[in-house]
Amino acid sequence: MRPIGKVRSPLVVILLSIITLGIYALYWHYAMFKETNEYDNEGVNGIVGLLISFVCGIIAAFLLPWQVGETRKRAGLAERVNAIYGLLILIPFVGWIVWVVLVQNAANELWESQGAVAA
């Protein structure tokens, strides 16, 4: 049986990222890369994703939605997010928030389709 990722509230991701001054955002990147990689052994793993996010976050902004979208396609779902969504973070103030919501919701749908339940 394939490991299934965790269903997370995008609002909680955003709030914890703000409260922890970005530390939770780095953990979230790590977890998202790790979960999608472990699901089908494709794409960037958690540690490499964390390093990319830490060293050059703009690359991660394009890579993470691409990896979530590709994982969804391999699971038989519509892609829903892809690399172009990384451009959202360039929108002042709200771009990053919209990006997190779209990427996390796409991941949540993937995990729920595989049997995960929201905590």
Whether 1 maps to a domain, the answer reads no
Whether 93 maps to a domain, the answer reads yes
Whether 116 maps to a domain, the answer reads no
Q: What is the residue-level pLDDT of the chain in tens, covering all 119 positions?
A: 689 999 999 999 999 999 999 999 999 999 999 999 999 999 999 999 999 999 999 999 999 999 999 999 999 999 999 999 999 999 999 999 999 999 999 999 999 999 988 87
Whether 69 maps to a domain, the answer reads yes
Whether 14 maps to a domain, the answer reads yes
Q: What residue numbers bound the domain in which 88 lies?
A: 10-109
- In angstroms, the CA 63 to CA 53 distance is 10
Query: What's the structural domain count of the chain?
Result: 1
Kindly report whether the global pTM for this prediction surpasses the value 0.85. yes
Q: What is the pLDDT of residue 119?
A: 72
* Rg (alpha carbons) of the chain, rounded to whole number: 13
Q: What is the pLDDT of residue 1?
A: 66
- C-alpha torsion sign, points 101, 102, 107, 109: positive
- The encoded tokens of residue 26 equal 């780095």
In 67-91, which positions are buried (b, 16+ CB within 10 angstroms) versus exposed (e)? bbbbbbeebeeeebbbeebbebbee
